[in-house]
Structure 1
């Protein structure tokens, strides 16, 4: 027997839980399917010491606070996962775990979609893809396996003891890469960190966290990324109670900075001569935000303390003034390469006409060009904050409202048909 539901949500991470809450508010019958556990990626695809990159007062849903972390603290990954489990229980979300969706196809001539799962077939009038932006780890095809070095994506890294002896090269200096490199360096490992173009906001300034500054300055609400900046990584961390990432300070502690990783030949990796330029870009991003913050304080007459030390720049270390352009892995004793190089998406199970030639969803604020298909949790779905915990909650409200409106149109159609039938019979 085929099960039916009005709206089927695929994925029970932060996007799926938020979607369920808003669908329930609109009285939309729905079901959420999760192939593993609620918020599984927080538990099994992150390193042991990871904490949220935003403070607890900000990176949460409006209906619940974190139980074990104060408002200005940074909850650990297990607490974040527990938060979503508790939230799902609080809103009585109809989530089924351990069910994988294998295909979604439109039912031609009848409306709705046939959804094949690992536990049978479900028919739904609408489907929401809430699988998020972090689906498929991306590892560049640069270093062959026969190079004799352990290679892993940042999703597979857990702690320093997990790695074989030797130095470590971390490729990618966004939040994940810089935190992993710092942890390994503190554990006594020789670490090389490949730094590409990045933004480097202050962790806090004049007594307020940078997420507050992005909020009051309107930056979270930016509707689209500036040209050429859509994929620029952000170096920010909640580790050690929260601190501004300073690559020069990391180098002063023994970490070796190199430029963007370009290629591999005859046992050696090569790096672009762009390290100083990338650091300068990060500096400019930080100073620009400080300038805007100062202007906001003056304009609004806020009583916030001056913080001149925030503009202090450490001297360039030798690895910046004399950059390393190649690294022989054997000679350098590198035993591990950790690729903190981001993610791709996989919508192979969604067999509908909702994607462009590059496989990216075609949508407007999560509403697909394919009627009845919706997306949630995409970067820049409606604004800069869309893929963050609080941002996805607000995006879910829009998607749920659209679904509710479509249901009202359909309800009118059905009622009009009933009235017409009654008139004919009368």
Structure 2
């Protein structure tokens, strides 16, 4: 076993780790980045085959490098992974792949001690850049002995991967909706169980919704406090980018359900909240469009009217007569895909930097333990922190904090 020392250790080589590394280098801070798999591993290995980014290429990127594609296109998952690797390489980020930190402690010598299979690394500063998509969450609702395939959306790849029969997708955010839409287009009987969500337009008055969130100042909104709950947003770049309209999807054959709340003898209990969830999503859309129109008037912008954005599709039968129970066997459902999010997994972290619930305890990435920081978390400093460009800003902020320690 070997031992080595670095001034600053960054754990994780995704978009946040790469951004932070670049800023550390430019501030003259000696550092090392450890990645337990490969750069941008989750983009390659933990996403379905047809996944594309939810924002256009011109928007969600580092400010110093463009994607090798149409700026208005939505990059595929391999494009994003290749982009991150190329950016890291062009900036000569000191990344060591295939090295996992299994334990991190803070010793009486004032140094952090990172245990890895290759030996111990000590550091004066440590930055956790492991992100928020760590441990897939599957609620313990449906017993394993029902003979169904149950997988998290992380392990879904394509329709051909699944056994014959219908598919229930649980979770109406971006991932769940895109997967359900793909399965329905592939001719699979598909049910989508969805909860509360925000539903923005894909484009409005000639501008993508990410442009509008910038124009309206929403990307720079600060979270009231660290750990603000993530709001499910139904948005997609699939098929060239379309506004997600659940009534339209139902008209194309997708069967909508309220939240899945219980299971007994293979029969699911469905909450009586579908109409409310759809109505609240519609209300969010209308409110955002009103804000956009007010912004156009206030600034005298020459952007065309877009009445189609307010089009309302007819209510499908699944809305007028909502399902309250679903017999999995009777409906021929052979697969459940849980698009139910992720939990944090800091089992390697032996420091007092987590809340009692196991969430990062920080203020804009700075913790109560001097020299330990977080990057790559939702709402780390602003609403846009989850995106590549948001990580760029947050990485600069944390690098500044590290450099200031002297």
Q: Which runs of 5+ in 2 are unaligned?
A: none
For the 8 Å contact 2:230–2:378, the answer to whether it is kept is no
Q: Distance in 2 between matches of 1:143 and 1:130?
A: 33
Superposition deviation, residue 229 in structure 1 = 7.9
Q: 2:22: which partner in 1?
A: 21
Q: Distance in 2 between matches of 1:232 and 1:116?
A: 35
Q: 1:113: which partner in 2?
A: 112
Residues 93-139 of structure 1, C-alpha deviations (whole Å, 9 max, x = no match): 0000000001111111x212111112111110011000001000000
Q: 1:49: which partner in 2?
A: 50
Q: Distance in 2 between matches of 1:80 and 1:202?
A: 23
Q: Distance in 1 between matches of 2:194 and 2:177?
A: 9
Superposition deviation, residue 232 in structure 1 = 2.3
Q: 1:2: which partner in 2?
A: 3
Aligned residue for 1:52, secondary structure, equals coil
For the 8 Å contact 1:112–1:372, the answer to whether it is kept is no
Q: Which runs of 5+ in 1 are unaligned?
A: 408-426
Residues 241-277 of structure 1, C-alpha deviations (whole Å, 9 max, x = no match): 1110000000001110000110000111111010010
Aligned residue for 1:105, secondary structure, equals strand
Q: Distance in 1 between matches of 2:111 and 2:228?
A: 38
Q: 1:96: which partner in 2?
A: 96
Q: 1:307: which partner in 2?
A: 306
Aligned residue for 2:390, secondary structure, equals helix
For the 8 Å contact 1:129–1:376, the answer to whether it is kept is yes
Q: 1:411: which partner in 2?
A: none
Aligned residue for 2:280, secondary structure, equals helix
Q: 1:254: which partner in 2?
A: 253
Q: Distance in 1 between matches of 2:391 and 2:122?
A: 26
Residues 170-228 of structure 1, C-alpha deviations (whole Å, 9 max, x = no match): 000100000000000000000000010000000010000000000010111111169x9
Superposition deviation, residue 70 in structure 1 = 1.0
For the 8 Å contact 1:225–1:384, the answer to whether it is kept is no
Superposition deviation, residue 230 in structure 1 = 2.7
Aligned residue for 1:38, secondary structure, equals coil
Q: Distance in 1 between matches of 2:198 and 2:176?
A: 14
> Judging changes above 3 Å, is the alpha-carbon distance between structure 1 residues 189 and 290 closer, same or farther for their aligned structure 2 residues?
same
Alignment of 1:263-302 (within 5 A): 263-302=262-301
Q: Distance in 2 between matches of 1:309 and 1:53?
A: 21
TM-score of the two chains, using structure 1 as the length reference: 0.94
User: How many positions carry a matched residue from both structures?
Assistant: 405
Q: Distance in 1 between matches of 2:74 and 2:3?
A: 44
Aligned residue for 1:395, secondary structure, equals helix
Q: Distance in 1 between matches of 2:123 and 2:345?
A: 21
